[in-house]
Chain A
Amino acid sequence: MSNWNVGIDVGGTFTDLVAIGPNGEFRSTKTPSTPDQSDGVLNALGRLATELGLPLDDFLGELPLIVHGTTVATNSLLEYNGAKVGLITTKGFRDEIEFRRSYKESVFDPRLKPPHAIVPRRSRIGVAERVDHQGNVLTPLDEAGVRAACEEFRRQGVEAVAICYLFSFVNPAHERRTAEIVREELPDAFISLSCDVLPEIREFERVSTTTVNAFVGPRVNAYLTHLEERLRSQGFKGELFIIQSNGGVLSAQEAGRYAVNTLLSGPAGGVTAGSYLGEMAGYDNLITVDMGGTSYDIALIENLQPAVTTESWIGRYRIALPMLDIHTIGAGGGSIAWVDAGGALQVGPASAGSYPGPACYSRGGTRPTVTDANVVLGLLNPDFFLGGEMVLDREKAVDAVRREVAEPLGLSVIEAASAIIELVNSNMANATRLVTTKRGRDPQQFALVAAGGAGGIHAGKQAEELGIRTVIVPGLAPVFCALGDNVADLKISESRTHIGRVDELDFEALNTMFQEMEQRARGRLAGQAVAGNFETKRSLDMHYVGEVHEVTVPIRSRTRRITKLNLDATLGDFHELHERLFAHKDPSQPVEILTLRLDLIGVRERPRMIPQEFGDEDASGALKGERQVHFDVEPTTVPVYNGDLLKAGAFIPGPAIIEQWGTTIAVYPGHECLIDAYGNVIIEIGQARSAAERAA
């Protein structure tokens, strides 16, 4: 057992586990998620141990590593049950977090409510101190003021203290001294320092990120400590790692210090798995989509590197850290179809969720959803939902679609269900197109990786709409995020603001800052034993002087030292990237650097799946029957395959349905599918049909 890797992802409904053995053997399991997420984790481990015929403590005792994707931080933030936070900030600036740079999510709607105050005004205290933009101290730190703030926090029962002073990214001395005082005064408090969490210019972005870190930090720490104790008590002697929002993993202890980095811990695994899958299957450029019950997540992977953004809002909170760029829209199996006052069909954004859920769940839901439409059309088998663990009521689905869509629009039930599916497919395709065009890419250059329970039904149609030629439904689609947890590298993302025009740069200062960032990153990775090789990736956030948004440009240098030659090449890349993104470049304009970025990646030896030998093309051995499916208004009788019995090399021309536990895959008319050596379903879409053909 000694070389098994285990990845465990806790989702809203299920806790998924993927274990990869020393010989590339894969095991996976799913158990219901639990209020205390550690119960689900232990249950999943217990189930796997049982499958392997081992007592849990024996199994855990041999495991070198568990990588975990957790939603504790996300739930804490979205359900507002994080820690009681106090904020110490520069006197005169305690309301920046409330001002939000005057941003409101809605431009026009006066009914929009304010976001929940994760640090109410009475807990925001300004302390006299001031540093200028060059790091000079203008006003010394009022240490007595800090102690008075601590006294007030003690009175309020504050559990976590966020500290954010102006220009602390240039000179962090005041923040560090404040932290020392807070440690003396409130020894049990969790402390979040902006100069550590996000040492970058723009005070609102920094204070928001730092405060969210304080808000979720104690909950995440408590959970990780609790989980680790339980694992240790069951014999686990290896290392516990947590997947972060940037797609890398970190030790549980380090992840707890920067808990804000775990806000996308769940979905990050799926994107990382997409990259791993692409490497195995031979696709460098992928779009991963994950369609669940309420949402549809889209991420872009170019040259096997997932796209990253620093412009995230999670819930209604600004997080300016580099995170995987996962675009989410409210389109899922539970999205409700309705007819608006002007007589047009709409799908979502309201969702029936999992409770009461779609009408066909028979849990009291009466409104038609995407899942209901899929059942009506025969795309979903009501007797094989979750492998038959849940039986769906087709009649209720038909009733709901008839009552709320077909009759108001004067359509047949089948026409109405088809329209619902067509519309939701279009909404998802539009969102996907936006993600690619935002990065100056054409979706036709990508393969589509469809994960999530409902992804396999809709992927083929979306690919058609987007002009994508290949869809990959992973063999491990139902546990895709846990697979990603298993294969992610260690990763530390460091950043530092350094404003200067490219033609006036001080190379010594630049190189010194990068060296400091690398040292700090190596310090944060010290002590772990799972990565032997380290890679350093450096980049610069650049823009034309005056632009508000920056473009992150990798530095072209093989050495640690950045020279004018490297920088000239990087500058050239900036102009090209700017043109690609915005159809516009101007090499005559001065360019400014704003932020230095460094990723230190601890490369783990990636487990390799064992490729199966290609067998016969004939898939009849997996045939489990046939049924009528409405791919459009007219019904078609199609073969239905048991996906778990399909062998590598099996070839299935569309139309067909493949059913696996947790996933149904629709192979549409004109599409063809092949099972690859790793059990992935590769669907080829009518090979690059011309625009005119598509129009016809």
Chain B
Amino acid sequence: MIRSQILYSRIAAIARELAETVGRTARSPGLTEGRRYAAALLTGEPKLVAQAQYDASHVFLIRDSVAALLDRFAFNLGEGDIVLVGDPYSGGSTPQAITIAAPLFYEGELVLFPAVRAEMADLAGEFPGSLHPFASETWQEAVRFTPLKLYRHGLLQRDALRFMLRNSRAESQVRADIEAIVSALRGASASLVALMDEKGRKATETAIAQTIAHSRALGAAEITERFGAVDRTERASLPVSVDASVDLVVRVTTADGHLGLDFTGTGANRAGPYNMTPGQAKGYALVAALAESLDATTLNDGHLQLVSMTAPKGSLVDPVLPAATGLSDAVTAHHLVGLVRSALHGGQAPDETRLDGVQPAVLAFLPIGAEDNPPISLDPGFSLSAQGWGPPVLAGRRLMPSAEVLEAREHFNLVSREIGADGRIHAVIRNDGPTLEGNFFVPRDAGGPRGRLTLVIDGARQVLESAVLVVIPPGGLIEFIYPTYAERADG
């Protein structure tokens, strides 16, 4: 086991390095500052060997997306192939996210290979970017990229790439991000070959198998120790508009450290973007259970094996095509994590350990019709977490934009960003560039809107809830008030 631990630590380091390289070389702000991506190594089954991520959204999804890829190309994969999928209904979740895998054949077999899942700046849909608060079909959010080959035997499939890029309003960012990901995947592949050359294939496979088994045992022990035997149902009413909501019901059970989720009773959101795919739901539930220890371990299949779920087909957590999914990470996941943690803690999860915390968002772009129109996420602050400092866990490791960089590069003037007398973060952004349009999103819960967005034009103030194609003229101000989930830790 010691030898396996040592060998596995090398494998985990390759996954971490792959993730770091993508973050350093990608071009779109969503990846470089938003860190909306994850990197993983997988076996040919596929099993998740090691995954590095910066938020909770990807937990099951690289494995599930790679499974869709391997299923599609089962007997049609060769040396040098790089394959891609970007589809909520092929192992994914939210639109605009794609998974790129570089199958690696060692001694003629698919032993261990890298993959990256990342959110692109724009892949079509009704509006630039991924924020569409009223989408009722997935195609309004993005084009679906079902499995395709980006490279065949090491050769770029130009038609495939062109097809992707021609379906983007942010062609240069998408191109650069894909190139960065492919380069990083090749670097990781070389490291894996070197490792297997050095340690041998058999020892590598043994180390993977032993570590997955160990992680499963460790995770099960933690669930048992922390929560004991749980069988509890929690429910929430998830507002999907000003006057409508959907029931989210989850029965959480733990037996032998296994986390069971039964969503019977959960409603549907057929005409809205709050749907969450099953892989997404399991991933968030796993994070809800193991958040306290996930930083100290490397996520692998042993953890994923701890969760199972059942849900009514067509419901909020097992939608059917063409249901939209764009707000699942931003809203539904927060409710789900809250419910699972509540169930695990006997209905009374300590407030100070809450992981969730929704917040408003604005995505701006040039007026519809511009061919090259990379959207800009205007997200100058964050919800204050239940811990009283920093953003909530579910916000992930997003880097808040620098006021100076925003002004020098993007023609936005961050007028102010400070904690207000109400303990919330207030920020004001002025558009110093040309006229823009923006999609605004303000999440709601039982208490009403969470956070506030106000547009100020020539002194006229307009409080906005969720809205699309809001005109932001030069000199227009957007005032953000972020919600808070606790008092500040330092008074």
Q: Which residues of B contact A559 (CB under 8 A)?
A: none
The answer, yes or no, to whether A403 is at the interface (CB within 8 Å) is no
Per-residue interface assignment for chain A, residues 628 to 666, with 1 indicating a CB less than 8 Å from any chain B CB and 0 otherwise:
000000000000000000000000000000000000000
A117 and B490 within 8 A (CB): yes
Per-residue interface assignment for chain B, residues 1 to 35, with 1 indicating a CB less than 8 Å from any chain A CB and 0 otherwise:
11001100110010001001101111111001100
What residue in chain A is nearest B432 (Cβ atoms)?
A132
Per-residue interface assignment for chain A, residues 669 to 695, with 1 indicating a CB less than 8 Å from any chain B CB and 0 otherwise:
000000000000000000000011011
Taking A95-B419, A547-B25 as contacts, is the C-beta distance between A132 and B407 under 8 angstroms? yes
Per-residue interface assignment for chain B, residues 182 to 225, with 1 indicating a CB less than 8 Å from any chain A CB and 0 otherwise:
01101100010010011110010000000000110110011001
Choose from B2, B26, B405, B417 the contact partner of A345 (Cβ within 8 Å). B2
CB distance from B52 to the nearest CB of A (A): 10
Complex Cα distance A121/B489, Å? 11
Determine the interface band of chain A, counting residues with CB < 8 A from chain B.
35 or more
Taking A93-B416, A341-B225, A695-B199 as contacts, is the C-beta distance between A203 and B404 under 8 angstroms? yes
Complex Cα distance A103/B200, Å? 39
Stretch of B99-107, B287-295, B439-447 at the chain-chain interface: B287-295
The answer, yes or no, to whether B242 is at the interface (CB within 8 Å) is no
A546 and B490 within 8 A (CB): no
CB distance from A250 to the nearest CB of B (A): 28
Choose from B173, B221, B390 the contact partner of A546 (Cβ within 8 Å). B173
Q: Which residues of B contact A544 (CB under 8 A)?
A: 27, 176
User: Which B residues between 217 and 237 are near A, CB-CB below 8 angstroms?
Assistant: 217-218, 221-222, 225
Q: Which residues of B contact A612 (CB under 8 A)?
A: none
Complex Cα distance A113/B390, Å? 10
Taking A98-B490, A108-B287, A546-B27 as contacts, is the C-beta distance between A133 and B417 under 8 angstroms? no
A107 and B187 within 8 A (CB): no
Stretch of B132-140, B308-316, B364-372, B394-402 at the chain-chain interface: B394-402
Taking A109-B294, A110-B352, A110-B354 as contacts, is the C-beta distance between A583 and B184 under 8 angstroms? yes
Q: How many residues of B contact A (CB 8 A)?
A: 90
Q: Which residues of B contact A691 (CB under 8 A)?
A: 194, 197-198
A93 and B417 within 8 A (CB): yes
Taking A101-B400, A430-B10 as contacts, is the C-beta distance between A93 and B418 under 8 angstroms? yes
A419 and B417 within 8 A (CB): no
Complex Cα distance A341/B6, Å? 18
What residue in chain B is nearest A202 (Cβ atoms)?
B402
Stretch of B146-154, B380-388, B463-471 at the chain-chain interface: B380-388
The answer, yes or no, to whether A256 is at the interface (CB within 8 Å) is no
A584 and B292 within 8 A (CB): no
Complex Cα distance A121/B487, Å? 14
Q: Which residues of B contact A133 (CB under 8 A)?
A: 404, 407-408
Q: Which residues of A contact B489 (CB under 8 A)?
A: 113-114
The answer, yes or no, to whether A173 is at the interface (CB within 8 Å) is no
Taking A546-B27, A694-B198 as contacts, is the C-beta distance between A109 and B402 under 8 angstroms? no
Choose from B20, B183, B294, B352 the contact partner of A107 (Cβ within 8 Å). B294
Per-residue interface assignment for chain B, residues 403 to 416, with 1 indicating a CB less than 8 Å from any chain A CB and 0 otherwise:
11101110001011
Q: Which residues of B contact A694 (CB under 8 A)?
A: 198
Complex Cα distance A201/B405, Å? 7
20 residue pairs of the A-B complex, CB under 8 angstroms, read A95-B417, A95-B419, A102-B398, A106-B295, A107-B294, A114-B389, A121-B419, A201-B405, A341-B217, A341-B218, A342-B217, A344-B1, A344-B214, A437-B17, A546-B176, A547-B26, A549-B23, A549-B24, A691-B198, A695-B200
Q: Could you list which residues of chain A lie within 8 angstroms of chain B, going by C-beta atoms?
A: 91-96, 98-104, 106-114, 117, 120-121, 126, 132-133, 166-167, 201-204, 340-345, 419, 422-423, 426-427, 430, 433-434, 437-438, 499, 544-549, 578, 581-584, 586, 589, 691-692, 694-695
Q: Could you list which residues of chain B lie within 8 angstroms of chain A, going by C-beta atoms?
A: 1-2, 5-6, 9-10, 13, 17, 20-21, 23-29, 32-33, 53-56, 173, 176, 179-180, 183-184, 186-187, 191, 194, 197-200, 203, 214-215, 217-218, 221-222, 225, 287, 291-295, 352-355, 381-382, 385-391, 393, 395-400, 402-405, 407-409, 413, 415-419, 425, 428, 488-491
**Told that A204-B402, A430-B13, A548-B33 touch, could you supply 4 new A-B pairs with CB distance under 8 A?**
A101-B400, A103-B399, A108-B355, A345-B1
